[in-house]
Structure 1
Amino acid sequence: MKFAVVASILLTAASINLGEAKIFGKCEFANTIRGLGFPEGEISTWVCIANYESHYDTNALNTQTGDHGIFQISQIYWCSTSGSPGGGCNARCSDFHDDDISNDATCVRIIFNEHQQISGNGFNAWTTYTAYCTGDTSSWLNGC
């Protein structure tokens, strides 16, 4: 009986978390980050990065690297896995797993700006950029 109650609670908690997460469509994601103030010239590159990082899934978690959310923000440097905000973005990593990506976007701009100062290219913070998203990424907005 206890197992059934615990299992029921866990399933309910899991479904609540899944209800808050979202998998964006490519064009929906592009329009969302455009609305969040991302520069127009960067939109297609961010669409490419989010595709390879998370497949536009706000609940994405890389358990090997500790990267979170649609942009795969690192818990090593940028957010905290404890109950309190922390890291370079002064955020909880769990906050990057819901359908509101405005806080993700704020953190991504911090990461981008820091890497812009370090390397001259803020996109270098994402390994998928170098592997898949350099050069002309305009085709990522086809159909949008």
Structure 2
Amino acid sequence: MFSYKVVLILSIVFAIFLVSEAKVYSPCEFAQAMKNQGVNDDLGTWTCIASHESNFNTQAINYDTGDYGILQISHLYWCSDSDTPGKECGITCQSLLGDDITEDIICAKKVFSETVAISGNGFTAWTTYSSCGGDQSSWIKECNL
């Protein structure tokens, strides 16, 4: 027999689940968002990386590595684990978990450009790039970009 407290707790948990449901982008939605933020080159590669990193899930968190959001931005260098924005992108890691991926893209562009300066290839900042090398235009061939 359930008590009213158990029912109340289950109701609250269910309500939190409904409110915190993540947006999962389609490949074309993701590529369009990248383009809207000024990314015009290698959209197929970016889309492949987002697919492999998060399955396009805006609330993806890798608890083993501390990577956040649709592009799995690392808390080690780029976003702050606290409530105070910080690190290289000047944001909190929690801000990378919303449906609006503008901050994710702005930070990813910074990660990319700083990695270019170090290694010559900005995509190497993402470990999943090894699965996304070469021509990745098939990811966006059906998109109206």
TM-score computed with the length of structure 2 as normaliser: 0.88
In structure 2, how many angstroms separate the alpha carbons of the residues matched to 1:47 and 1:64?
Answer: 23
Match of 2:64 in 1: 64
Residue type of the partner of 2:142? G
Match of 2:14 in 1: 11
In structure 1, how many angstroms separate the alpha carbons of the residues matched to 2:115 and 2:65?
Answer: 19
In structure 2, how many angstroms separate the alpha carbons of the residues matched to 1:69 and 1:112?
Answer: 16
Query: How many residues are paired up?
Result: 140
In structure 1, how many angstroms separate the alpha carbons of the residues matched to 2:17 and 2:77?
Answer: 27
Match of 1:84 in 2: 84
Q: What are structure 1's unaligned runs of at least 5 residues?
A: none
Residue type of the partner of 1:58? T
In structure 2, how many angstroms separate the alpha carbons of the residues matched to 1:75 and 1:8?
Answer: 33
Higher helix proportion, which one? 1
Match of 2:117 in 1: 117
Q: Residues 7 and 76 of structure 1: is their aligned pair in 2 closer, same or farther, counting only changes over 3 Å?
A: farther
In structure 1, how many angstroms separate the alpha carbons of the residues matched to 2:13 and 2:93?
Answer: 20
TM-score computed with the length of structure 1 as normaliser: 0.89
Q: CA deviation at 1:4?
A: 4.3
Moved more, 45-54 or 78-87: 78-87
In structure 1, how many angstroms separate the alpha carbons of the residues matched to 2:33 and 2:65?
Answer: 26
Q: CA deviation at 1:138?
A: 1.4
Q: SS in structure 2 opposite 1:94?
A: helix
Answering whether residue 38 of structure 2 is matched by residue 37 of structure 1, we say yes
Answering whether residue 24 of structure 2 is matched by residue 23 of structure 1, we say yes
Q: What are structure 2's unaligned runs of at least 5 residues?
A: none
Q: CA deviation at 1:7?
A: 4.1
Residue type of the partner of 1:79? C
Q: SS in structure 2 opposite 1:49?
A: helix
| Regions of 4+ moved over 6 Å | none
Q: CA deviation at 1:71?
A: 0.1
In structure 1, how many angstroms separate the alpha carbons of the residues matched to 2:19 and 2:92?
Answer: 18
